[in-house]
């Protein structure tokens, strides 16, 4: 039984054999745990899910950057810069994590050359740095919208394109510096396993108190603290908008039996919708990955005795990567000007082709 269980876990970790997975999912093997059955099901789905996600996410983020770069979406320059930075970071995560890590693991018997390159520790530094940027750009955008809606006295000084540029640049530099430790913690050899450490670790690192503390701090800074900050800022912003809305409604009073339109509250409402769409999407899709990352590190640090299920890791990874291509759809649903610019961008090459065909 132990030998068969090890075989199942090894297959799940190293090769996406769909037919063998189907056997583990549907056959009545008493020695198979629920976690391994779920893991086999998720791994089977990933063979289709990851390529489709990559094919979708790359053009979606490129188009988002192009639309926002035109500056015609009715957003301030500062907000536009934050959203462009988020889309660019998501695009890099798709390339470095999804295309260069997850897909080679899913198809490693067909994509051999990537795993054999001795650059895994460099890959890890770039992957975690771009992921940090993606996460913290969401936090800085959320804070910018919080200031714009709730702190009118400092809004004119903080919510500017110059401040946004400084904040974005600072996040990039700090994210790169913060993740240099992965280069020394991991080797250049790929482990061919879909785990937080997808590289072979330096000897003794797994159970080291020092390295364990550094990694635990890493997961506190990204994504646990960002999730808490985004949630807190959203709660404060929503509370402020409701209180302000009631106060302004009482001050303005009804005119002709109907409440008059309040341009200021309309503007705040649109800002709030954009904020909730971006940050809510981030919270929902990153929550499971955050739980697994913290739980896993605490387990290796002997702070908890129960090992986190591998199925939580796989599902968390799938949801986290999905967050890299959902913002464009959310912008299109909630932002009228974004939809108009997106249509123009799509029609431009079609109109050009039509003109050339007429010639």
- The answer, yes or no, to whether residue 47 has pLDDT greater than 70, is yes
Q: What is the pLDDT of residue 35?
A: 77
CA gap 323, 288 in Å, rounded:
12
- Closest to 105 in 3D by CA, of 188, 198, 21: 198
* Residue 240 belongs to domain spanning: 57-250+261-348
pLDDT digits (tens, 9 = 90+) for 295-342: 887 887 777 888 888 888 889 999 999 998 888 778 877 788 888 888
Which residue has better confidence, 122 or 18?
122
User: Is 199 contained in some domain?
Assistant: yes
CA gap 131, 92 in Å, rounded:
8
CA gap 219, 233 in Å, rounded:
20
CA gap 131, 247 in Å, rounded:
41
User: Is 281 contained in some domain?
Assistant: yes
- Closest to 152 in 3D by CA, of 241, 229, 233, 77: 241
Q: What is the pLDDT of residue 243?
A: 84
Q: What is the pLDDT of residue 241?
A: 85
Q: What is the mean pLDDT of the chain?
A: 82
User: Is 214 contained in some domain?
Assistant: yes
Q: What is the pLDDT of residue 358?
A: 63
The count of domains in the chain is 1
Q: Any idea of the CA torsion for 143, 146, 150, 153, to the nearest 10 degrees?
A: 40
pLDDT digits (tens, 9 = 90+) for 82-125: 999 999 999 999 999 999 999 888 887 666 666 678 899 999 99
Is pTM beyond 0.95? Reply is: no
User: Is 146 contained in some domain?
Assistant: yes
| 8 Å CB contact between 40 and 21 | yes
pLDDT digits (tens, 9 = 90+) for 175-224: 999 999 999 999 999 887 766 678 988 988 877 888 888 888 998 898 88
User: Is 336 contained in some domain?
Assistant: yes
Q: What is the pLDDT of residue 3?
A: 45
- The answer, yes or no, to whether residue 344 has pLDDT greater than 70, is yes
Residue 195 has φ and ψ, to the nearest 5°, of -135, 170
User: Is 142 contained in some domain?
Assistant: yes
CA gap 69, 283 in Å, rounded:
26
User: Is 318 contained in some domain?
Assistant: yes
User: Is 11 contained in some domain?
Assistant: no
| 8 Å CB contact between 133 and 171 | yes
User: Which CATH number goes with the domain that contains 66?
Assistant: 1.20.1070.10
SS3 319: helix
């Amino acid at each position: 039984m132990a030998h068969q269980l090890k075989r199942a876990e090894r297959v799940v970790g190293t090769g996406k054999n769909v037919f063998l997975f189907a056997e583990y999912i549907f056959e009545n093997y008493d020695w198979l745990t629920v976690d391994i059955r779920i893991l086999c099901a998720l791994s089977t789905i990933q063979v289709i899910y990851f390529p489709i996600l990559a094919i979708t996410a790359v053009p979606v983020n490129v188009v988002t950057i192009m639309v926002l770069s035109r500056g015609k979406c009715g957003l301030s320059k500062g907000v536009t810069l934050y959203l462009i930075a988020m889309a660019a970071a998501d695009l890099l995560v798709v390339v470095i994590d999804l295309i260069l890590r997850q897909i080679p693991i899913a198809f490693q018997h067909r994509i051999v050359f990537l795993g054999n390159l001795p650059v895994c520790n460099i890959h890890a530094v770039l992957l975690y740095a771009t992921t940090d940027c993606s996460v913290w750009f969401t936090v800085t955008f959320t804070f910018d919208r919080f200031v714009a809606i709730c702190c009118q006295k400092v809004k004119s000084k903080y919510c500017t394109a110059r401040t946004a540029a400084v904040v974005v640049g600072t996040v990039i530099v700090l994210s790169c510096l913060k993740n240099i430790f992965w280069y020394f913690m991991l080797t250049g050899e790929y482990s061919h396993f879909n785990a937080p450490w997808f590289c072979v670790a330096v000897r003794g690192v797994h159970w080291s108190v020092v390295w364990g503390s550094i990694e635990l701090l890493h997961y506190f800074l990204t994504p646990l603290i960002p999730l808490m900050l985004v949630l807190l800022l959203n709660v404060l912003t929503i509370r402020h908008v409701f209180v302000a809305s009631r106060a302004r409604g009482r001050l303005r009073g009804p005119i002709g039996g109907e409440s008059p339109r309040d341009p200021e509250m309309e503007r705040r409402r649109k800002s709030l919708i954009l904020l909730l769409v971006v940050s809510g999407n981030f919270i929902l899709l990153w929550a499971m990955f955050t739980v697994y990352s913290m739980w896993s590190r605490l387990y290796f640090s002997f702070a908890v005795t129960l090992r986190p299920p591998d199925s939580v890791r796989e599902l968390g990874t799938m949801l986290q990567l999905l967050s890299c291509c959902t913002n464009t759809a959310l912008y299109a649903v909630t932002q009228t000007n974004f939809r108009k610019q997106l249509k123009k961008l799509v029609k431009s090459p079609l109109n050009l082709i039509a003109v050339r065909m007429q010639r």
